């Protein structure tokens, strides 16, 4: 039961992050929190499939600046692909996807930091 509860909490937090970034008008728009939940789920699945495919091709994502740039591009592509599957979600081009990916990373970090201050591990 703990795994399912952790998954649901992570999904709700991811949806909250997507919803917050959407409200900042940075290249990603979702119509409501329900669409944000679906978007979080689709983004997780599409991201996992893309990373799996890259692994099959022998492409590994290392650390450092180059690794961060590759992960940013992968995140932008994931957002653009997820846009096709999620009704109520819109990504405004590749530049909007890059900006939204950066914003999602920053907002996720802030929320994780705040939850850590409260003693809640995510």
| pLDDT of 107 higher than 70 | yes
Domain ranges of the chain: 2-117
Taking the C-alpha atoms of residue 36 and residue 44, their distance in angstroms, rounded to an integer, is 12
Q: Is the dihedral of CA 25, 26, 27, 31 positive or negative?
A: negative
12-69 pLDDT, tens digit per residue, is: 888 999 999 999 988 899 998 889 999 988 888 888 888 888 888 887 777 778 778 8
Average pLDDT over residues 67-93: 88
Q: E-strand spans in 8-57?
A: 28-30
pLDDT of residue 121: 67
Whole-Å CA distances, 80 to 28, 39, 89: 10, 11, 10
């Amino acid at each position: 039961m703990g795994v399912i509860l952790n998954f649901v909490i992570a999904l709700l937090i991811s949806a909250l992050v997507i919803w917050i970034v959407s409200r900042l008008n940075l290249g990603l728009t979702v119509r409501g929190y329900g669409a944000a939940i679906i978007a979080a789920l689709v983004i997780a699945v599409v991201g996992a499939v893309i990373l799996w495919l890259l692994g099959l091709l022998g492409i590994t994502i290392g650390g450092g600046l180059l690794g961060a740039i590759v992960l940013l591009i992968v995140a932008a592509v994931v957002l653009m692909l997820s846009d096709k599957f999620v009704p109520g979600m819109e990504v405004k081009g590749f530049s909007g996807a890059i900006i939204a990916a950066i914003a999602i990373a920053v907002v996720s970090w802030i929320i994780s930091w705040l939850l850590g201050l409260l003693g809640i591990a995510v």
